[in-house]
């Protein structure tokens, strides 16, 4: 039996502009409720993106890995549109810098009133996710193919 290869258009956008776009055969999105898979021909769908690993398998069978956080995604009429506050190829995240950001947030004083503690907890959760994904990518846990996976760090021993 031939593998399922129906394609769809995709685009990933942030407030700074387009991160990537093209034709894909699959995508896995980090929704608030868990991972959501998208294949060509999927019924219309709207999901809230929380934070985590976003993977796109392109028409050329290359996998692109991203850290994505805070936004939404929609599939409609053969198109996936992802709009998030942040989306960075894992190859472009330095684990040491991500760790330093996590430590900076950890040391930041928090008042015990209002929404600040919840906001601080969410920032810390996202910083941990970003650090963990960058570390796993550097270690070689994800296949490094595609225009966003081929750049960046080599595997560490």
pLDDT value at position 130?
Answer: 95
What does the alpha-carbon distance between residue 142 and residue 157 come to, in Å, rounded to a whole number? 15
Tokens 């963990």: give the residue: 132
Tell me which fold the domain 8-90 belongs to: ATP Synthase; domain 1 (2.60.15)
DSSP string across 136-157 = HHHHT-S---STTTSSSPPPP-
pLDDT value at position 109?
Answer: 77
What does the alpha-carbon distance between residue 80 and residue 38 come to, in Å, rounded to a whole number? 8
Instruction: Tell me the pTM.
Output: 0.83
Tokens 């960058």: give the residue: 134
> Tens digits of per-residue pLDDT, 47-91?
999 999 999 999 888 999 999 999 999 999 999 999 999 999 999
Q: Does pLDDT of 2 surpass 80?
A: no
Q: Where are the domains of the chain?
A: 8-90, 92-139
Q: 60 φ, ψ to 5°?
A: -85, 15
Tokens 């996998």: give the residue: 63
Tokens 């699959």: give the residue: 26
């Amino acid at each position: 039996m031939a593998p399922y290869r129906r394609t769809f258009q995709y685009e990933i956008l942030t407030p700074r502009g387009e991160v990537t776009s093209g034709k894909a055969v699959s995508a896995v999105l980090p929704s608030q409720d868990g991972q959501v898979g998208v294949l060509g021909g999927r019924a219309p769908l709207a999901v809230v993106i929380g934070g985590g690993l976003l993977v796109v398998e392109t028409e050329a069978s290359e996998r692109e890995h991203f850290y994505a956080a805070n936004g939404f995604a929609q599939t409609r009429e053969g198109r996936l549109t992802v709009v998030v506050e942040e989306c960075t190829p894992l190859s472009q995240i330095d684990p040491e810098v991500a760790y330093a950001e996590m430590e900076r947030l950890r040391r930041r004083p928090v008042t015990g009133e209002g929404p600040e503690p919840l906001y601080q907890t969410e920032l810390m959760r996202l910083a941990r996710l970003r650090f963990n994904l960058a570390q796993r990518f550097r270690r070689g846990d994800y296949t490094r193919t595609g225009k966003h996976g081929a750049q960046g760090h080599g595997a560490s021993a």
